Amino acid sequence: SIYEMFGNECCLSTGEVIKVIGFKINKLIASICENNEVSRFSAKVELPLNFPGLYKVVADKTPYVSIEEITRKVSIGPTRFGHPCFYSSEDIKLASLTIKHGEQITFNSVEEVNGIMTVNCGVVRNNQSYSFTLPLSQEGKFYECEDDQIYTLKEIAEWKISKCRNRIVKLSSTLHTWDSSNPLPENFDGCLVLTPVYEVQAVMKFRKDIVHILSDLDIEVKDITDCYDIKSFLQPLSLEDVFERTSKEFPMVAEIMERPPGSQKPYNFLYTGKEIVIYKKFQATRVLASEIRSDFPKRHFLIPMSYKGKFKRRPREFPTAYDLEIARSEKEQLHVVATKAFDSPHKELFSVSVGDQFLVQQSQTSEVLYEGRKKLVDVLACEQILRDTYKKVLIPMYMEGAFVEVIHDKKQYQLSEICKEFCLPFNVKVSVRDLSIEEDVLAAMPGLKFEEEITDSYLLISSANNPVESWEIPVYRLNMSVHLLSKDVQTVVPPVTKKTVEEISEEQYYMVRRYENQTLHPPPRPPKKPT
């Protein structure tokens, strides 16, 4: 049987032995959904996995009848997405505790305990976690819990669509302006029913790459697993698989079976068939930065702490008085100028005019007269800068105005100094580019907003044949497969590490921020006007 794979014809001969290593969703068929049902008038459209946008998943109303069915149909694994949550319609009595009906159960991993396959689970009660195991034989009605996270279509395809089921999703953010090539209606913000189209991932005995076979390919196959030595096949590993290996197994030599898509620097040297040395796995800190510009889209970067360029401060903008309170620090007094007028409804509080300058002091409460009654409101105490004096004023915290920071600091800072001395977010411009980088992309930016420090997972690699320099490659943002070689590493000490500024997409930017902030409490909302 001859079929086309990525534009190339491939031949599967009669008698060819294929080792199936996985099933993967190749694309999604989407239908517009109304009231959790497919609209009768909705045309089906084909969406690639890289279709832009962020989505929320709608909890599946169909129950699972056993723990075994959940483990068979739902992805459970060590990564961020591999911890699905369910609740039981009835109490589950265990030796150590009773799981109440409706209580959220997190499924963490599957393992064998005393010859019995079980799932490691957890519940949270009064901010305290309790761990327990459930056997796969446990029966009942288990329903999917609501999920308030947002995902890309690729993440949903990999982790959030159960086998033999569809998935309803709600569009959360489009990330891109609509154009005529978009298969969805203009201004669409509703729900979609996603039906997966699968492909089979396989390896063949005399090929070193991974073969992708569409699931609708018309061929007949026979299962010969029990009578064939499957160890004779190559074992593909993703970067996540490599990262899960113990530290004692490093360094290791590997050959690339499937290169990263595209040719983005610095990963364009990673091609299929290339042998690499993977020295170690580690966590590293990066500063997440965004280009300062009013139009869309903005560019986003992950900057290593070793970046050797220097920065000068740029003015920050504050949309409300409440943002001034958040940005205020003990290290230096915040000096701002108003760019939008505000008329205070209370004579006790100050009305702001365009051009007014203030030194921000502190937040406090103040008594105002509102509809004949006295009320306490949150205010920001400031000093208005006049020509030859200062005037103490109170600005309502709920004020929706606009302020721009006045910068007096002319010093040039290293990245590490900024992270140590100031609170992020922080606005800067490159004043001295990093000369160790061939093309310092940050130097061309009119301004950068340092959003936050993030910690991410990396592998340190180099070329096996000519290890002149080593590279840090991100585990969760680089889609690449390798297989390990039984070769000795020539030198255990890695060559000089060439750290780079990594540019990330809009979707990756939202994902990085989501991962970093999902354990933090959201900031308090600004006070409302008194009513």
Residue 526 in tokens: 């600004």
User: What is the chain's mean pLDDT, rounded?
Assistant: 84
**Among 105-109, 250-254, 430-434, 515-519, the least confident range:** 515-519
**Tens of pLDDT, residues 404-421:** 999 998 999 999 999 988
Each domain of the chain, given as residue ranges in start order, spans 1-57+148-234, 60-145, 236-314+407-519, 317-404
317-404, which class in CATH? Answer: mainly beta
Work out the average pLDDT over 55-80. Answer: 89
**Residue 255: C-alpha distances to residues 270, 461, 462 (Å):** 10, 12, 12
- Answer whether residue 447 shows pLDDT above 90: yes
Task: Give this prediction's pTM.
Answer: 0.68
Is the CATH number of domain 60-145 1.20.1250? no
Q: Which of 267-271, 298-302, 511-515: highest mean pLDDT?
A: 298-302
- Encode 315-352: b = buried (16+ Cβ within 10 Å), e = exposed: bbebebbbbbbebbeeeeebbbbbeeebebebeebbeb
Q: pLDDT-based confidence at 525, cuts 50/70/90?
A: very low
pLDDT tens digits, one per residue of 427-436: 999 999 999 8
CB atoms within 10 A of CB 259: 21
Closest CA to 328 of 364, 361, 377, 365: 361
